[in-house]
Structures are given as C-alpha cells and as structure tokens.
Amino acid sequence: MTPPATTPRTILLTGAAGTVGTLMRGLLPGYGYELRSLDVAPVPGEPDAITAGLGDRAALREAVAGTDAVLHLAGISLESSFDEILRSNIEGTYNLYEAAREEGVRRIVFASSNHAVGYTPWPGKDDPLIPIDVPRRPDTFYGLSKCFGEDLAQLYWDKHGIETVSVRIGSCFPRPSSVRMLSIWMSPEDGARLFHAALTAEGVGHTVVYGSSANTRVVWDLAPARALGYEPRDDSEPYAAELIAEQGELDPAGNPDHAHLGGLFVTRPPRWEDRG
Ligand code: 15L
C-alpha cells in the first residue's frame, strides 16, 4: 500500500483517559497529529478534553465534526454484564459510527481485541501462526462486542464508504506482565506505529489486523498489519526469563487458563466492575 496524498492531522481520540488512550496521548503527537480527546471521565492534564459518554449522540457528533479520522478506543475493556456491554460497546460504537457518517469522517481505527477470537486454541510449537481469517470465537460478552464492532465497520464500509482498520489488540501495556503476554504484547511505541499506519494507509476498506510487537513468541500473523506499512521494532523477549522464572512456561495442554488465545478471559474473565 502506498502512503496517502494527505496524512490525517486532527484525530478524535475516544477513551483518551484509558490505559491505551493515555499512552497514545503521549506518543501520537510525535507523528504530527493534533489530538482531540474524549472520555467519559476527565482526562488528566487536558482541561479542553470533551467529557462525554458514548450514549451522548449530540456530543459525539460535535466531537467528530472537523476531524480527519477517529481512533476509537473507548468502551468497557474487560468483561461485564451483557446490559453494560450493550450500552457502552455495542450501542456506543454504533453511535460513534453514526456521528462519523453524519459529519463526513472517512476513516476510523477501531480498537478490536484478541478476545474476538479468544476461544481459538493456543497454537502448539509446530502449528502455523493464527491467521487473521480464523473463525471468530469470542470468549466473553466483551469479545462479542468486538466482533460486533468489526461487523459494524464492514457494514459502514460497504454501505457508506467509511474506512476502518480494526486492530485486534493483544496486550498494550508498558511491559508484559504474564507469560501469555510474551506472545501478544504490543509495546506502546509499536502501538503508536501501528495506529499511525492504520490512520494513513491508503485503500484499506475494512481491514482487520492483529496488533502486537514483533515478539519472538508471536502466535499470530502480523502480515496484514505489515501490509499497512507497520514496522514493529519491539520484542517482549527481554522480559521472558524473569516472567518464566516467576510463573513457569505456558502449559496449553495441562492448564485450562493457558489453553486458549484469550487466556483467563476464557476461564475466569477479569471484570470491569473489579478494576482497581
Ligand atoms: C484486552 O482486550 C483488554 O482490554 C486488556 O485489558 C488486556 O487484558 C488484553 O485484552 C489481554 O488479553 O491481555
């Protein structure tokens, strides 16, 4: 894919106060973006951020107006009740796409998740990388909402010509904290590289990619992300010895917590209500 003639400049960042949003607020301005932050909670250090939930259609419309693209990170990012997921992630994402359609915004980067395919068996050492077209197998209502988001993105491309890159994010934190994350970790810097590629690549229609660093223990195919121009530079391997000493090697055949891509989301999902 060739770079576009014009790089999007003003980006609406939803979920700006969240974990990934906070990391991206630090990194994306370095790529020349002007960020317009939106979150249901106040955004620390940003008095001009828009405080609005994804249920507030008027606020969403005002927020997307005049932007070149949206990086949509907002929503519940762990398991919750179906009603909460429905309101926040399903209806909320619909509201955002409607606002984009009404205001003529042509590109959205959607934070999908590995949990859209979380019931995929953890691959054995000699198995091929998990392809991007593996059947969707959500591991939670949260993962199900990401499947919905991907399908919504496809509908808005086919029907309204709004382009989306859906990024099935692995674990985007400053450092990996589990042996599972050694395979799916996306360093914040690689996250910014991937989002920048997703915001600027030409002719994406609706493209789904996995989002991780170039980890030695990678389990999925990064080729679709690389086709956008993403060149990951990080690898979780320097963290491996310490994490394996603490937690032991993954045991997909013997430990149900390790048997699937979604890890604990399959067996005992962390709940949004219990977050610290
Ligand atoms: C996700 O989708 C979550 O939002 C994040 O908090 C992590 O738990 C990540 O998946 C993961 O699978 O590690």
Reported as a single tens digit per residue, the pLDDT across 163-208 is: 999 999 999 999 999 999 999 999 999 999 999 999 999 999 999 9
Q: Is residue 46 part of a domain?
A: yes
Q: Is residue 2 part of a domain?
A: no
Q: Is residue 207 part of a domain?
A: yes
Q: Where are the beta strands (DSSP E) in 201-247?
A: 206-211
**For range 248-266, the mean pLDDT:** 97
Reported as a single tens digit per residue, the pLDDT across 202-242 is: 999 999 999 999 999 999 999 999 999 999 999 999 999 99
Q: Is residue 117 part of a domain?
A: yes
Q: Give residue 61's identity as a one-letter amino acid code.
A: R
CATH code where residue 269 lies: 3.40.50.720
Query: Ligand 1 centroid vs 77 CA: distance in angstroms?
Result: 7
- Domain range spanning residue 159? 9-274
Q: Is residue 212 part of a domain?
A: yes
Q: Is residue 4 part of a domain?
A: no
Give the integer Cα–Cα distance in Å for 27 and 23. 7
Q: Is residue 185 part of a domain?
A: yes
Reported as a single tens digit per residue, the pLDDT across 134-161 is: 999 999 999 999 999 999 999 999 999 9
Other C-beta atoms within 10 Å of 245: how many?
8
163 DSSP β-pair partners: 107
Q: Does residue 166 contact residue 13 with C-beta atoms inside 8 Å?
A: no
Minimum CA distance residue for ligand 1 atom 11: 171
Q: Does residue 44 contact residue 21 with C-beta atoms inside 8 Å?
A: no
- Of 33, 97, 142, 239, catalytic: 142
Give the integer Cα–Cα distance in Å for 57 and 250. 44
Q: Clarify whether 210 is annotated catalytic.
A: no
Give the integer Cα–Cα distance in Å for 240 and 165. 30
Query: Which residue carries 């994306």 as its tokens?
Result: 28
Minimum CA distance residue for ligand 1 atom 8: 171
Query: Ligand 1 centroid vs 66 CA: distance in angstroms?
Result: 31
Query: Ligand 1 centroid vs 78 CA: distance in angstroms?
Result: 7
Q: How many domains does the chain have?
A: 1
pTM for the structure as a whole: 0.97
Pocket of ligand 1 (CB under 6 A): 77-78, 113-115, 171
